[in-house]
Amino acid sequence: MEVVLHLPVVPNVELVAAKAVETLGGALGMHQTRVEAASVAVVEACLNAMEHGGGPVTVRLRSKNEAARPCLVIEVEDHGKGFNPERAPQNSPSRILGRASKRGWGLTLIRELMDEVQIRSAPGKTLVYMCKYVESAP
Amino acid sequence: MNEEQIKLSKDLLADDIGLIAAAGYINNEGGQAIADAATDLMGEGATTLLIDLEGTRIINSIGVSILLEILEKLLDEQGRLAFCNLTPTISKTFEIMGLVQYAAVYPSREVARAALEGDATS
């Protein structure tokens, strides 16, 4: 089972990806709370891809079952200039107040809300791989 | 289900307690709509704001960053911010972004009202 979305850069298009996560996660039997966490993560990945990639975004969703631990795999790909994931800003809740900009939480949220995250980035292609285990409990 | 369009209502629960009920996608536009309602209520004298997110299931970090600005504005005025009816994921997102360090979270509007009005009279 695989879903591939090619998203143009238009307002709120990230909700199309969130809806696909909701549908596929539900079909896999994933708990609603886990589906919602994956939905927020895909929204953040799409927003980052649109903001920094500058062009259309490809989202691929599929199920995977390795080591008897099924999961929903989500990949978000853009074709921007790329970045060094190790040098990406790491936000901390202790530093939220008093800063002029409160942005830059996307990667932190993705890493906290998903079970596995890998980022491969080079000029012309950035791929964010995310996995959420299919578990019936939250 | 039209999640894109946020539905908002605001009311003064007491002289200094304002309620904002928001259902829908909290993105830049949803967050700004909440911020505008917060400004209105603060202009009417509210120093405590309760934001009820029943019906909100998806948010993004841009929307939450606007909620952080509301929090900052309230703290500058010695005010308080509280939330109720959060989904577990929204609650976790607020925790990750540090919002719950400064804002109270209640399971329901009734529990929140009792706590906030009790605090106001004590």
Q: How many CB atoms lie within 10 A of CB A94?
A: 8
Asked if the C-beta of B99 comes within 8 angstroms of chain A's C-beta atoms, the answer is yes
pLDDT tens digits, one per residue of A76-114? 999 999 988 877 777 766 666 666 667 788 999 999 999
pLDDT tens digits, one per residue of B64-113? 999 999 999 999 999 999 999 999 999 999 999 989 999 999 999 999 99
pLDDT computed for residue B113 by the predictor: 95
Interface with A, mutate which of B6, B61, B73 (most A CBs under 10 A)? B61
pLDDT tens digits, one per residue of B6-17? 999 999 998 899
**Could you say which DSSP state residue B98 is in?**
T
List the domain boundaries for chain B: 7-121
Interface with A, mutate which of B96, B99, B100, B101 (most A CBs under 10 A)? B96
Whether residue A138 lies inside any domain: the answer is no
pLDDT computed for residue A96 by the predictor: 65
Q: What is the CATH number of the domain that holds A21?
A: 3.30.565.10
Predicted TM-score of the model (pTM) = 0.92
What confidence tier does A69 reach under pLDDT thresholds 50, 70, 90? confident
What total number of domains does chain A contain? Answer: 1
Nearest CA in chain A to B70: A97
* Of B5, B32, B105, B97, residue with least CA distance to A107: B97
Class of domain B7-121: alpha beta
pLDDT computed for residue B121 by the predictor: 58
* Of A84, A67, A50, residue with least CA distance to B60: A50
Interface with A, mutate which of B53, B56, B60, B91 (most A CBs under 10 A)? B60
**From the list A15, A43, A93, which residue is nearest B96 (CB)?**
A93
List the Cα angle A43/A105/A13 in 5-degree steps. Answer: 20
Residue carrying structure tokens 């998203």: A7
% pLDDT > 90, chain B: 88
Q: What is the mean pLDDT of residues B52-63?
A: 95
pLDDT computed for residue A43 by the predictor: 97
The DSSP element (H or E) to which A5 belongs, if any, is strand A2-7
Distance separating alpha carbons of residues A97 and A95, to the nearest angstrom: 6
Chain A (44-103) residues lying within 8 Å, Cβ to Cβ, of chain B: 44, 47, 91-94, 96-98, 102-103
pLDDT computed for residue A103 by the predictor: 75
Whether residue A45 lies inside any domain: the answer is yes
| Residue B68, both tokens | 């952080």
A135 or B93: whose pLDDT is higher? B93
Q: Which domain holds residue A48?
A: 2-133
